[in-house]
Amino acid sequence: MTAPLRSGEPIVVQVALGTRAYDIVIGRGLMASLGERVKALRLGAKTAIVTDENVAKHHLAAAAAVLKSAGIESSAIVVPQGEGSKNYATFETVCEAIIAARIERGDLIVALGGGVIGDLAGFASASVRRGLDFVQVPTSLLAQVDSSVGGKTGINSRQGKNLVGAFHQPVLVIADTALLDTLSKREFRAGYAEVAKYGLLGDAAFFTWLEANWKDVFAGGKSSGSLAREHAIAVCCRGKAAIVARDERETGERALLNLGHTFGHGLEAGAGFSDRLLHGEAVALGTALAFEFSARKGLIGSSEAARACAHLAAVGLPTHLKDVPGGVPGLDALMDLIAQDKKVKRGKLTFILVRGIGQAFIENDVDPAEVRAFLTDKLA
């Protein structure tokens, strides 16, 4: 459910995982507290900051400075920007750099970046010395509301997205909303797809709030929009934290968080994990397809499906296959990519479908012929 807007102190959301519980701290200007928060977690620890070239230009010096001011030694590992860095070669580079920096088990990795960096640094943390603790400092909206929370880490295979990885929870997430000020409009909009997803899958009241307040969420800054932005991020984090606490390793309801991802990951892979289609844009398009497929199956009224698609389109997100620059894969190729989705069980397709806005459910054993017929119409 939604919660009232608030101001003042940072919003703290706990991910309740027993002895591995951790906080998500949300607010403006929180980067300044990174050093003291890390020191409180691991007194005397060294850190390695994993980031990308673009984020490094904006935020690396500040992160290193606040760590230094708290008496914490840090080294930087900078990788190329973009989804292309979620590969075996860059994973090896990051792992070797962590080892070369003499980061020990009692030290910390700081993932400073968007979803790509969080996934990559998290997977390296899970792997080096058989497990290092790490702190997420997400710098994109998508990462602040979704990928930095819940412990999914990994890299892409040539055969699909996030097919190699591990569940490895962070020990802290610092979501400084001021860091979002440096995002391009396209990057922020792509992240908003994950915000809308939380309303569409399980919180109809939040979706209604987004329809009325999305412009304030986009405005952000130090205006009243900052409260709207923090509120939206907090609602998403509370929703995800609750699901992760109940189903950490996605054996059941956590799969609901993949609304839009089965279609979306196939489209993203078909675009070569390139700037032609950002992850959030693929999620938006996949979510529109999931609602339309649900309507085709008679699970939801066409007007309600149209409402969901209309909101995504209103903020500038793609909702039709023709919206993808350069086109999408052919039917056979797209079906092959969908069949590589991680929710496939014994070769049977699983989709997250909906019975209404805020009423997503897991549909196992979806008939591939039905999906093929639906996509044939959409591709036409």
The reported pLDDT for the residue numbered 160 is 83
> What number of other Cβ atoms are within 10 A of residue 33's Cβ?
17
Question: Is 250 labeled as catalytic in the residue annotation?
Answer: yes
The reported pLDDT for the residue numbered 1 is 44
Mean pLDDT for back-to-back runs of 10 residues, the chain (380 residues): 62 97 97 97 96 98 98 98 95 98 97 98 98 98 96 92 95 97 96 98 98 94 76 97 96 94 93 92 98 98 98 98 94 91 72 98 93 95
- DSSP bridge partners of 25: 12, 174
Contacts for 83-87 with beta carbons within 8 Å, 24 or more apart?
Answer: 83/116, 83/156, 83/268, 83/273, 83/274, 83/279, 84/273, 84/274, 85/52, 85/116, 85/117, 85/120, 86/116, 86/119, 86/120, 86/154, 86/155, 86/156, 86/162, 86/273, 87/155, 87/156
Which of 83, 250, 268, 281 is the catalytic position? Answer: 250
Question: Is 240 labeled as catalytic in the residue annotation?
Answer: yes
- Helix count and strand count (H, E) for the chain: 14, 11
Which of 152, 197, 342, 378 is the catalytic position? Answer: 152
Which of 9, 130, 158, 185 is the catalytic position? Answer: 130
Question: Is 254 labeled as catalytic in the residue annotation?
Answer: yes
Question: Is 86 labeled as catalytic in the residue annotation?
Answer: no
Output the DSSP codes for 58-78.
IIIHHHHHHHHHTT--EEEEE
Looking at residue 339, the DSSP 8-state letter turns out to be: T
Which of 161, 261, 311, 342 is the catalytic position? Answer: 261
Q: Which helix (H) or strand (E) holds 41?
A: helix 34-41
The reported pLDDT for the residue numbered 108 is 98
Which of 229, 258, 311, 378 is the catalytic position? Answer: 258
- Architecture of the structural domain at 1-251: 3-Layer(aba) Sandwich (3.40)
Closest CA to 20 of 174, 171, 133: 171
Which of 59, 189, 265, 311 is the catalytic position? Answer: 265
Domain spans, the chain: 1-251, 259-380
CATH topology agreement for domains 1-251 and 259-380:
no
Which of 240, 311, 342, 378 is the catalytic position? Answer: 240
Which of 161, 229, 238, 279 is the catalytic position? Answer: 279
Burial grade of 317 (CB within 10 A; 0-12, 13-18, 19 or more): buried
Question: Is 304 labeled as catalytic in the residue annotation?
Answer: no
In CATH, which of 1.20.1090.10, 1.10.287.130, 3.20.20.10, 1.10.490.130 is domain 259-380?
1.20.1090.10
Closest CA to 173 of 130, 118, 226, 127: 118
Closest CA to 256 of 243, 246, 267, 238: 243
Question: Is 168 labeled as catalytic in the residue annotation?
Answer: no
Question: Is 185 labeled as catalytic in the residue annotation?
Answer: no
Which of 83, 161, 168, 194 is the catalytic position? Answer: 194
The reported pLDDT for the residue numbered 348 is 77
Question: Is 39 labeled as catalytic in the residue annotation?
Answer: no
